[in-house]
A and B are shown apart, each in its own frame.
Chain A
Amino acid sequence: MSAAPYKPSRWEFQGVRLWHAALLGGFVIAWVTGDEDTYAMHLFAGWWVAAVVTLRLVAALLAPAGSPLALKRPNRNQMLTVSILSTLALTVLAAFSGIAADVAPFLEDPHEALAVMSLWAIGLHVLVAVIVFKGRQWLRRVSAALVVVALGAVPALAADPARDAIVAAYAAQAKQQDAGFSGFSAARGEALYRLRHTVNPEIASCSTCHTDDPTKPGRHAKTGRVIEPVAVSANPKRFVEADKVEERFMRDCKSIFGRVCTATEKGDYLTFLINR
């Protein structure tokens, strides 16, 4: 006797959707809170992701064959199966490695790598799902949108609006101070960075504290305190607070050059370190 094919209820489909939302929500929150300041939230989101996946696994084991919640779905497109498995595996590994890294900090690097990989896997998964369910027409529309987003996102990653605003403000000032101003120069900025002065022999140049290689951590020449790298490539948190930048320029220029720096010098210096 063969059982009638299982007829899933509306709630099972809703459940699958809800689960997607819960997982994606947790992931997004974990992704955007991966910073020191929001660590508690990050940790919570990590546990959330782990719990949501575990719950899903339990539901899959309990669900009757044929339910959209079941583990095995004989009619599923194979490409989709692969993408689901890899996305889930990476997300789960990312979550658990993060939880483990909380007590074993050496797992921090693998955790970050896994998180980045799961982001890619999620992107691919969306792509595959779109292909499988909605066909190419949809895909074309989505990929056009993605290209637009990517075109906007790539420069946004390298640039920071706050930093741009600081440089722009110095440019406006430079134009006022000097009618012949024609843009900042990284080369002039580098010269300024390395030039040795005699005002204060103990701290002869910017590189005395910020080191010859601005991508490396420096050390305060008098107090010995470690200073984080000043090149933006090595330290994306650089030059994003106008108040701090201006305060430091005032102090550091006075101690090393014995005078304040001009707006052009400040812009050149920033341009050098932003492109470094």
Chain B
Amino acid sequence: MKRLILATILSVAVAAPAMAGGDWVAPVKDPLTLKECGSCHMAFQPAFLSADAWRKMMSNLANHFGDNAEMAPDKVSAITQYLTANAGGYRRGVSDSKITDTAWFARKHRKVAPEVWTRKDVMSRSNCPACHKQAEQGLYDDD
């Protein structure tokens, strides 16, 4: 409940300016995707990768970046459907499987010192919420 209250206050506090043109990526709304793709890491917004990249990733979940993200086939197809339908076709979407390997990501983070990525509370580039507290709401311009 605490989290919900905080989230409510925060979203009210930031929603207005964010809507007014900040870097707002449409957050994940599909409950199945949130649940299945949001347990090991945050559920990344589909707009960050191209439809091809999502399809490639979803066809091999047993070998998912050194982890095993297998799930029932009906879930796989429902999630693939959602991700590809909302994929980024241009600018953000790059035909690579890792968001953090794209040139776009490197450009946005060129000012982040290398040692920051390995800090104990960050651990990985893919841990967006460690630095962007509202990453899951699609807000990345908070710092």
**A binding-site residues for B, Cβ under 8 Å:** 34-36, 39, 42, 101-103, 105, 108, 200, 202, 219-220, 222-225, 247, 250-252, 254-255
Contacts and interface: CB of A to CB of B under 8 A. Distances in A.
Contacts of B5: 39, 101-102, 105, 108
Contact-size category for B: 20 to 34
A251 B68 contact: yes
Contacts of A247: 70-72
Interface of B: 1-6, 9, 39-42, 65-72, 121-124, 126-127, 129-130
A225 B127 contact: yes
A224 B66 contact: no
Nearest to B72: A247
Contacts of A34: 1
A201 to B, nearest CB: 11
Nearest to B62: A254
Interface centre among B4, B42, B67, B127 (most CB of A within 10 A): B67
Given A35-B1, A102-B5, A105-B5, A225 B41 contact: yes
B61 to A, nearest CB: 9
B66 A222 contact: yes
Nearest to B123: A224
Given A39-B1, A105-B9, A222-B124, 8 more contacts: A34-B1, A36-B4, A105-B2, A219-B123, A220-B41, A224-B122, A247-B72, A252-B68
